[in-house]
Structure 1
Amino acid sequence: QALSICQSKIEKHGVRRMRLVATEACRRARNARDFIRQVRRETGMDLEVIAPEVEARLAVISCAPLVSKRTEQLLVVDIGGGSTELVWIDLSQVAPEDRPRAIMRLHAGFAPHGDAPAARVVDWISVPLGVATLKDQFTDVQDDTARFALMSWYFEEKLASFSPYNSENARAGFQIIGTSGTVTTIAASFLGLRRYDRAKVDGLHMSSDQIDTVIHEYLSLGPEGRRSDPRIGRDRHSLIMSGAAILQALLRIWPTDRLSVADRGLREGLLYAQMSADGVLDDGPYQ
């Protein structure tokens, strides 16, 4: 039904150029091919199941406008429903004024292109744990605090193969950009917003300590308190703690004074990539 509504809007606006993608849920579903055929038959829409690297790359370029000129080491985090993508990028060889543009140039791929100084992808990983799939791992744990701690440490265990996990990293010149409903919800809670306002959330800078304070407040509220908290919302209360557990694990490993909140993601990444490929944009960055 939701896809039929999307198709109606596409027809209403006369859209001719489009890219329709599916991510982790379809990557792991055993009946993914049947689902895609059914969608095509009922709506005429051709879904493309994208690889984890493509999903990670789209998340990265969507955040190009938020990259600081002072950033030398960048970690982009996209916490989804079924997976979490991490991309570590070295910008130290790129001129400060060109760093946001260097991120946009990654739309062509993570492998280096040409001899000019460029953003270097140190490593990337797609962890098959998102807010829904991580939550499902610990449904048998009744204690709220214990369940949260288990989720956080369980997620960290999955990062052993991510090379920056075992490397020292200075806080100076380091930036994390977080793009997900988890990060934007925590930001809205930090700001005390009873009604979500994208203009106030997108681009907000938070420190590890500020995020940790919000997470501890969520824990003190308990399940019932979170359900009725207007800053979280009834559509997100059941998943916010698994997302917060992922975020806490990352900040435990890589504490930062500058986590940039991104209310943007695959849609913006798809748009930027298509416009760049069509020559409409000159490799960003764009607000």
Structure 2
Amino acid sequence: MADRPPPDLTRGAGTQRGKPSGKVADFRYKRPSQPDHNDTASAASPSARARAAHPHRIHAGNGRTRRQAYAALDLGTNNCRLLIARPSGENFTVIDAFSRVVRLGEDLAATGRLSDEAMERALAALHICAEKLRRRNVHLARSVATEACRRASNGADFIARVREETGIVLDIISAQEEARLAVLGCHILLESGIGPAVIFDIGGGSTELVLIEPGGPVPRILDWLSVPWGVVSLTDSVPPPDGTQQGRERRYAEMRRLVDESFAPFAERVRPAMEEADTIRLLGTSGTVTTLASLHLELPQYDRQAVDGLIVPSDSMRGICRRLSTISEAERRTVPCIGDDRANLVVAGCAILESIMDLWPAPQLGVADRGIREGILRSLIAADAQGEEGRAMLARQREQSL
């Protein structure tokens, strides 16, 4: 499938007033102009009614117009996420979204299987997704599963059960496809510069590193690596600390050692590109980087608009990593933007992030709250547009031959 992802809506850059410094990249989502309730006009204002009366339409080859909804579902090792959007000019407008921590990969490292409890949690979330897909009358959708289902001996059985119970057809994608979709979904947020850059995705069960050459609508992938260390798999593979600060430091050091060893071949391969680059640029997409960016901004609660596209000094991220790795899990639970869901997993994410920053020592880190789902949406919209063009051309050819 050839991808023609449209660029995101351009908005002015800015900084967060009253918060630690951090540049914001120029590219953001296009937001819905008003709440989408059965696609009817809101009575809030005349301008809202006018926008609803003249919605963006995709022109089909036969001259008809229609509005279409596209959906992307990503079932990962830790989260289940759904995004539903409509094309809007060169962008897309998000009309519905869902995210839930399901911990599908819980105990997978020890047993090699998806547990009954984990599958039930995931199925409960997927039933909600299925209802949203039906309610939004989605035209095209792609649903993917990643590392947990790739690794689990009962992964294929679980996929079949999901299809039977919810109607959702999950595609277990390869690590290479996962890396490609992550790049496609977030590369627009990469800082400007000359030379190769690295984009990474720290997941629940794996981490993908991609060396890219920016340019054109889609960057060229020069090299990539996927390792089976994510925030869940790494947490489960290293014994918990003994309750002392020294024990926590030893555990963190062991996490760093495991990740460094896995990254070593990629580090050797990309070193020449790093040494020749005029500007070393690094962009990350994951709950780890967005959480740490929230702490950098000292946000009382997570704010996607403040975080997505933020450029943070790498030294600040390292300092946050070191602090989180030395405090207890109980203390981490009290930190804003971490809470119960991430208190046990964020240390593993910090270890992976520090290893990445050692491997590709950029002075600052770009933060993306977007990735696989956005990559899927761009692929679906582009492929459907190409299909419309092809059908329109065939229709014209048939008319001319009559």
Same-fold call, TM cutoff 0.5: yes
Residue 237 (structure 2) pairs with residue 137 (structure 1): yes
Q: TM-score, normalised by structure 1?
A: 0.84
Aligned pair partner of 1:44 in 145, 167, 171: 167
Question: Aligned ranges for residues 174-253 of structure 1 at < 5 Å?
Answer: 174-253=280-359
Q: TM-score, normalised by structure 2?
A: 0.61
Look up the equivalent residue of 1:202 and give its one-letter code: D
Residue 381 (structure 2) pairs with residue 262 (structure 1): no
State the match for 1:66 in structure 2: 189
Distance 1:246 1:176, change over 3 A: same
1:156-179: per-residue Cα shift (whole Å, max 9, x none)?
A: 100233243554624741211100
State the match for 1:107 in structure 2: none
**Whole-Å Cα distance in 2 between the matches of residues 160 and 172 of structure 1?**
23
Whether the 8 Å contact between 1:75 and 1:175 is mirrored in structure 2 is: yes
Q: State the Cα distance separating 1:273 from its structure 2 match.
A: 1.2
Whether the 8 Å contact between 1:159 and 1:165 is mirrored in structure 2 is: no
Q: State the Cα distance separating 1:57 from its structure 2 match.
A: 0.2
4+ residue segments displaced more than 6 Å: none
**Whole-Å Cα distance in 2 between the matches of residues 190 and 54 of structure 1?**
31
Residue 251 (structure 2) pairs with residue 147 (structure 1): yes
Whether the 8 Å contact between 1:73 and 1:88 is mirrored in structure 2 is: yes
**Whole-Å Cα distance in 1 between the matches of residues 372 and 334 of structure 2?**
30
Whether the 8 Å contact between 1:192 and 1:231 is mirrored in structure 2 is: no
State the match for 1:127 in structure 2: 227
**Whole-Å Cα distance in 1 between the matches of residues 166 and 338 of structure 2?**
34
**Whole-Å Cα distance in 1 between the matches of residues 287 and 211 of structure 2?**
21
State the match for 2:261 in structure 1: 157
**Whole-Å Cα distance in 2 between the matches of residues 235 and 204 of structure 1?**
23
The structure that is strand-richer by fraction is 2
Aligned pair partner of 2:198 in 44, 69, 75: 75
Q: Which has the larger radius of gyration?
A: 2
Moved more, 68-77 or 27-36: 68-77
Q: Tell me how many residue pairs correspond in the alignment.
A: 257
**Whole-Å Cα distance in 2 between the matches of residues 184 and 253 of structure 1?**
20
- Any stretches of 5+ residues in structure 2 without a counterpart? 1-123, 387-402
Q: RMSD in angstroms over aligned alpha carbons?
A: 1.7
State the match for 2:129 in structure 1: 6
- Classify the secondary structure of the residue corresponding to 1:19: strand
- Classify the secondary structure of the residue corresponding to 1:78: strand
Q: State the Cα distance separating 1:250 from its structure 2 match.
A: 1.1
Look up the equivalent residue of 1:204 and give its one-letter code: L
**Whole-Å Cα distance in 2 between the matches of residues 262 and 164 of structure 1?**
25
Whether the 8 Å contact between 1:144 and 1:223 is mirrored in structure 2 is: no
Look up the equivalent residue of 1:241 and give its one-letter code: V
- Classify the secondary structure of the residue corresponding to 2:263: coil
- Classify the secondary structure of the residue corresponding to 1:236: helix
**Whole-Å Cα distance in 2 between the matches of residues 139 and 220 of structure 1?**
15
Whether the 8 Å contact between 1:74 and 1:88 is mirrored in structure 2 is: yes
1:67-124: per-residue Cα shift (whole Å, max 9, x none)?
A: 2331422101000000000101134xx4xxx4xx232xxxxxxxxxxxxxxx3x2210
- Any stretches of 5+ residues in structure 1 without a counterpart? 104-118, 281-287
Q: State the Cα distance separating 1:227 from its structure 2 match.
A: 1.4
- Classify the secondary structure of the residue corresponding to 2:339: coil
Whether the 8 Å contact between 2:211 and 2:270 is mirrored in structure 1 is: no
Whether the 8 Å contact between 1:182 and 1:240 is mirrored in structure 2 is: yes
**Whole-Å Cα distance in 2 between the matches of residues 266 and 273 of structure 1?**
10
Percent identity of equivalent pairs: 42
Moved more, 159-168 or 172-181: 159-168
Whether the 8 Å contact between 2:191 and 2:366 is mirrored in structure 1 is: no
Whether the 8 Å contact between 1:74 and 1:89 is mirrored in structure 2 is: yes
Look up the equivalent residue of 1:137 and give its one-letter code: S
- Classify the secondary structure of the residue corresponding to 1:85: strand
Aligned pair partner of 2:180 in 57, 64, 67: 57
State the match for 1:110 in structure 2: none
Aligned pair partner of 1:25 in 140, 144, 148: 148
State the match for 1:272 in structure 2: 378
Whether the 8 Å contact between 2:313 and 2:365 is mirrored in structure 1 is: yes
